[in-house]
Amino acid sequence: MSGALVAAFWSGGPGSAGPQRIGRAGPFVDLSAMRDEGELAFVSRNDLYLVDGPNKAVHQIAVQRGWTALHPSFSRDGAWVVYETEDQTGN
């Protein structure tokens, strides 16, 4: 398996409070639980998500089909999310 290190710019954004499903089959996220916690980056079902607690927003970051995001981390200034990718096709 091969991998890559990727950086994505994080800009936050508005959204609604309370539990909500991200996309048609994505995870449920309770944004009200994150309102005082800042930002969170996480992986669910091989997809990368960013939660902006103060702005009550969640965003899915596109990862190339056949790849999965791993180990997301924010830059020290909070402007970037860095994560690894791994090929899930076995190539």
Q: Say what the pLDDT of residue 91 is.
A: 62
* pLDDT at position 72: 92
Below-70 pLDDT ranges, the chain: 1-18, 23, 90-91
The four Cα atoms 71, 84, 61, 42 give a dihedral, to 10 degrees, of -10
Per DSSP, 90 falls in state -
pTM: 0.67
Instruction: Give the pLDDT score at 90.
Output: 66
Outline where the chain has alpha helix (H): none
Structurally, how many domains does the chain consist of? Answer: 1
What residues make up the domain containing 33? 3-87
